[in-house]
């Protein structure tokens, strides 16, 4: 028999813990866990219509998806999209933060300027970029015309459409991530730089050996966010390309939306959603468990 | 060999937006000396040290280290090491990596690096803690890591900015001795900033006392204690500090002079035979002796040191005596007056 006081104390602690957890648990259950389960459940049914009512078909919807060339094209697009936007926006954010954190004139202005894209709603940003990209009228073509370059329909041809989308995303995200980096940079004490100076470290060595490692927790956080955004952020597709031409700029979430609300095929949309959740979950887990171990938290 | 100083500051001035930082600081430091920069908060000790380190560039004056004019040189070119008040350890690096940081930067071969690391850790008593992160060390251990990082490169000049201020009194005493011994063993030159005069007096060969950005006196601890050049030095150095008495309170002195008197030179006199009549304000019993605080209308800081337990009720009137030879005389501007022999 263990000590009754210790038992009581442990029970009190447990109740306290559960009480603290319950608001979050409740919200997550209602808005995350239950919908996920419900999505999985509906992904195992066939699409019902007047003649054939919906019935349980197991994983057949998934098999359909794997056989669908458009699905694979969209997956490839999204992987490419993520593969470019994540590293490039992180790199640009970091460079801008390092620059905006050093002693430059009009520092406040530079920071605000960088942050502006983040404040704009994605739809407004997309309209802005539409103005850049429009063939003939757009700013890019106008500039090109000055140098006698031919007019390019950036959004209208399969080779450039996805790139055009990628650039808008980077433009939008880099400023946002920069704010996190700036905040993290402010927490690095000034005297570390001085100590490194006295030890003879160059600016680059200091950045590489001291600043970047100390920014690792921030980078990890930004990476997870960027990854989620690479799936989540599709507002501009609606304005700029609608996934075209010939699916060249279609991303997975846009395809899910199309499947559910344009083709009214909820079960396949559900199946695709489950796959996205699965992949995101796995990647996030890898990021946290692998990189986390090599990260120093202050 | 000529007695050319190892480090020399010539008329250094540094201002921030026209506001005073340090002014006209000139100082010669022989090789192997332990120099303490002492003074109240905000007097420019850290600024002087940072100018010496190359973390700030002076507005005027010249800095010479080891015969080279380094006034405008970068910190890394000055061949010195520094211990920061906050230690400035790299939080994500282990003790070993912290200590070896500078060696790595300077591309010292790996074998030599490890050799030096081992020695530095041995000297500072950190062996066995190589793999800890600074966050997993106690304050005293962190302090020693900072020290190890400063000595590992074998620079001949080491600057320290209040390295002990984060330690408790007991540890401070122990580390103080360690630092002094280390400095002597390695034969390096140390410039040490502190606002604690016991620290300065007990460790330094040369004490530089500063006030409001200016040097007040440079000298050995004995010189500062026995022959303060002005009333500021007199009141700053010593525990308890020197008492100052206005001249007209004593027979035989000009009205506008100030007379300095150390506690150990004051004796209790029999009634009617004393030179000053004072009132007891407080008694502080310290075990071997008792400090008796005295009040007099024309004096500040009068303290009488009595052996053993010697409590007097406050408000009690006592008479004190002292010898003329023990008096320090300062003129109306507070400057020391050389007395006729
Ligand atoms: N970067 C700076 N900008 C403006 N003024 C400064 C700066 N650094 C120091 N000062 C001023 O210079 C004077 C000397 O400062 P310093 O840091 O040298 O004092 P200190 O003697 O080290 O004091 P403490 O014992 O409190 O550390 C102070 O009046 C301070 O306000
Ligand atoms: Mg200071």
Tens of pLDDT, residue by residue over A173-202, are: 888 899 899 999 989 998 999 999 999 888
For residue A214, the distance in angstroms to the closest alpha carbon of chain B comes to 7
Q: Classify residue A108 as exposed, middle or buried by CB count within 10 Å of its CB (0-12, 13-18, 19+).
A: exposed
pLDDT above 60: residue A1? no
Task: Answer yes or no: do A97 and A16 share one domain.
Answer: no
Give the number of whichever ligand sits closest to the CA of residue B39: 1
Give the domain CATH number at A128. 1.10.3720.10
Q: Which of A286-290, B133-137, B164-168, B331-335 has the highest mean pLDDT?
A: B133-137
Q: Indicate whether A149 belongs to any domain.
A: yes
Arithmetic mean of pLDDT, B17-44: 90
CATH of domain B7-233: 3.40.50.300
Task: Answer yes or no: do A201 and A289 share one domain.
Answer: yes
Spacing, Cα B10 to ligand 1 middle (Å): 20
- pLDDT greater at residue A149 or residue A41: A41
Would you say the CB of residue B86 lies under 6 angstroms from ligand 1?
Answer: no
How confident is residue B341, by pLDDT bands cut at 50, 70 and 90?
A: very low
Closest-lying ligand 1 atom to the alpha carbon of residue B40: 25
* Angle of the B139-152 helix axis to the B110-124 helix axis, nearest 10: 140
Q: Indicate whether A50 belongs to any domain.
A: no
Question: pLDDT digit string (tens) for A201-222?
Answer: 888 999 999 999 999 889 988 9
Name which of B190, B174, B109, B116 is nearest B140 in CA terms.
B174
Q: Determine the pLDDT at residue B251.
A: 77
Task: Answer yes or no: do A31 and A91 share one domain.
Answer: no
Task: Answer yes or no: do A11 and A147 share one domain.
Answer: no
How confident is residue A153, by pLDDT bands cut at 50, 70 and 90?
A: confident
Closest-lying ligand 1 atom to the alpha carbon of residue B85: 27
**Other C-beta atoms within 10 Å of A37: how many?**
11
pLDDT above 70: residue B6? yes
The beta-carbon contacts of B9-12 under 8 Å, at least 24 apart in sequence, are: B9/B48, B9/B51, B9/B52, B9/B61, B9/B62, B9/B63, B10/B61, B10/B62, B10/B63, B10/B64, B11/B60, B11/B61, B11/B62, B12/B48, B12/B51, B12/B58, B12/B60, B12/B61, B12/B62, B12/B63
Longest alpha-carbon distance in chain A: 90
Domain count, chain A: 2
Question: pLDDT digit string (tens) for B33-71?
Answer: 999 999 999 899 999 999 999 999 999 999 999 988 999
The size of the A-B interface in CB pairs under 8 A is 65
How confident is residue B91, by pLDDT bands cut at 50, 70 and 90?
A: very high
Q: Are A96 and A178 in contact (CB under 8 A)?
A: yes
Share of chain A above pLDDT 70, in %: 97
Q: Determine the pLDDT at residue B339.
A: 67
Q: Determine the pLDDT at residue A19.
A: 94
For residue B148, the distance in angstroms to the closest alpha carbon of chain A comes to 13
Q: Chain B residues contacting A, CB < 8 Å? A: 53-55, 74-76, 80-82, 84, 86, 88, 90-92, 101-102, 105-106, 133, 135, 149, 153
Following DSSP, what letter does each residue of A34-87 receive, concatenated?
Answer: HHHHHHHHHHTBPPP-SSS---B-TTHHHHHHHH-HHHHHHHHHHHHHHHHHHH
The answer to whether ipTM exceeds 0.90 is no
Residue ranges per structural domain of chain B:
7-233, 240-330
For the whole model, what pTM was predicted? Answer: 0.78
Report the alpha-carbon distance of residue B166 to residue A133 in Å, rounded.
60
Task: Answer yes or no: do A129 and A276 share one domain.
Answer: yes
Q: Determine the pLDDT at residue B217.
A: 94
The CATH architecture to which B240-330 belongs is: Beta Barrel (2.40)
Q: Which domain holds residue A16?
A: 1-43
Q: Determine the pLDDT at residue A295.
A: 66
Q: Classify residue B102 as exposed, middle or buried by CB count within 10 Å of its CB (0-12, 13-18, 19+).
A: buried
Question: pLDDT digit string (tens) for B295-314?
Answer: 998 888 899 888 888 888 88
Name which of B264, B325, B260, B324 is nearest B292 in CA terms.
B264
Q: Classify residue A132 as exposed, middle or buried by CB count within 10 Å of its CB (0-12, 13-18, 19+).
A: middle
Would you say the CB of residue B42 lies under 6 angstroms from ligand 1?
Answer: yes
Report the alpha-carbon distance of residue B80 to residue B155 in Å, rounded.
5
Answer yes or no: same fold for B7-233 and B240-330: no
Q: Indicate whether A55 belongs to any domain.
A: no
Residues 6+ apart with CB under 8 A from A168: A125, A126, A129, A236, A240
Side-chain half-sphere exposure of A231, counting CA atoms within 13 A: 18
Task: Answer yes or no: do A18 and A92 share one domain.
Answer: no
Q: Determine the pLDDT at residue A48.
A: 77
Question: pLDDT digit string (tens) for B274-286?
Answer: 888 899 998 888 8
Q: Determine the pLDDT at residue A63.
A: 87
What residues of B are in contact with residue A198 (Cβ under 8 Å)? 53-55, 75-76, 80-82, 102
């Amino acid at each position: 028999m263990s000590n009754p006081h210790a038992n009581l104390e442990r029970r009190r602690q447990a109740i306290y813990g559960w009480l603290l957890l319950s608001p979050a648990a409740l919200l997550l259950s209602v808005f995350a866990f239950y919908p996920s389960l419900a999505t999985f459940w509906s992904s195992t049914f066939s699409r019902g219509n007047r003649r054939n009512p919906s019935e349980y078909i197991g994983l057949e919807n998934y098999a359909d998806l794997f056989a669908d060339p458009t699905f694979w094209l969209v997956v490839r697009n999204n992987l490419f999209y993520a593969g470019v936007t994540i590293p490039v926006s992180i790199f640009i954010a970091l460079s801008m933060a390092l620059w905006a954190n050093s002693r430059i004139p009009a520092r406040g202005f530079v920071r605000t300027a960088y942050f502006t894209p983040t404040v704009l709603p994605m739809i407004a940003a997309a309209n802005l970029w539409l103005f850049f990209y429009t063939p003939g009228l757009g700013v890019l073509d106008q500039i090109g015309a000055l140098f006698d370059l031919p007019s390019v329909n950036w959004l209208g041809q399969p080779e450039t459409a996805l790139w055009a989308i990628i650039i808008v995303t980077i433009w939008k995200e880099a400023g946002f991530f920069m704010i996190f980096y700036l905040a993290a940079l402010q927490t690095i004490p000034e005297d570390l730089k001085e100590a490194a100076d006295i030890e003879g470290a160059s600016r680059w060595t200091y950045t590489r050996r001291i600043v970047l490692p100390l920014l690792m927790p921030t980078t990890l956080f930004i990476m997870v966010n960027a990854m989620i955004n690479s799936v989540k952020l599709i507002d501009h597709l609606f304005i700029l390309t609608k996934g075209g031409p010939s699916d060249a700029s279609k991303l997975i979430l846009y395809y899910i939306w199309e499947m559910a609300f344009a083709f009214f095929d909820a079960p396949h949309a559900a199946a695709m959603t489950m796959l996205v959740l699965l992949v995101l979950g796995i990647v996030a887990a890898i990021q946290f468990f692998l990189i986390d171990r090599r990260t120093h938290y202050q | 060999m000529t007695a050319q100083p190892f480090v020399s500051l010539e008329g250094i001035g540094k201002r921030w937006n026209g506001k005073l930082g340090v002014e006209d600081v000139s100082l010669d430091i022989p090789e192997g000396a332990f120099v303490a920069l002492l003074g109240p908060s905000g007097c420019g000790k850290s600024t002087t040290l940072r100018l010496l380190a190359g973390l700030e560039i002076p507005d005027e004056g010249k800095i010479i280290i080891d015969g080279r004019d380094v006034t405008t040189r970068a910190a890394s070119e000055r061949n010195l090491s520094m211990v920061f008040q906050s230690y400035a350890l790299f939080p994500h690096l282990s003790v070993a990596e912290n200590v070896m940081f500078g060696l790595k930067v300077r591309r010292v071969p790996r074998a030599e690096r490890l050799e030096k690391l081992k020695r530095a850790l041995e000297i500072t008593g950190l062996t066995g803690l190589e793999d800890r992160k600074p966050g997993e060390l106690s304050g005293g251990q962190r302090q020693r890591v900072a020290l190890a990082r400063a000595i590992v490169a074998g620079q001949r000049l080491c600057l320290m900015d209040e390295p002990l201020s984060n330690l408790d009194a007991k540890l401070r005493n122990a580390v103080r001795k360690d630092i002094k011994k280390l400095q002597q063993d390695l034969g390096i030159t140390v410039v040490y900033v502190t606002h604690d005069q016991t620290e300065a007096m007990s460790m330094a060969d040369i004490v530089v006392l500063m006030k409001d950005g200016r040097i007040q006196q440079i000298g050995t601890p004995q010189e500062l204690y026995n022959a303060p050049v002005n009333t500021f030095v007199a009141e700053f150095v010593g525990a308890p500090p020197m008492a100052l008495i206005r001249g007209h309170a004593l027979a035989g002195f000009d009205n506008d002079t100030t007379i300095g008197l150390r506690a150990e030179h004051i004796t209790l006199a029999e009634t009617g035979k004393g030179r000053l009549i004072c009132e007891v304000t407080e008694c502080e019993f310290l075990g071997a002796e008792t400090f008796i605080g005295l009040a007099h209308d024309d004096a500040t800081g009068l303290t009488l040191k009595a052996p053993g337990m010697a409590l007097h009720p406050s408000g009690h009137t006592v008479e004190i005596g002292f010898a003329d030879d023990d008096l320090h005389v300062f003129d109306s501007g507070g400057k020391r007056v050389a007395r006729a022999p």
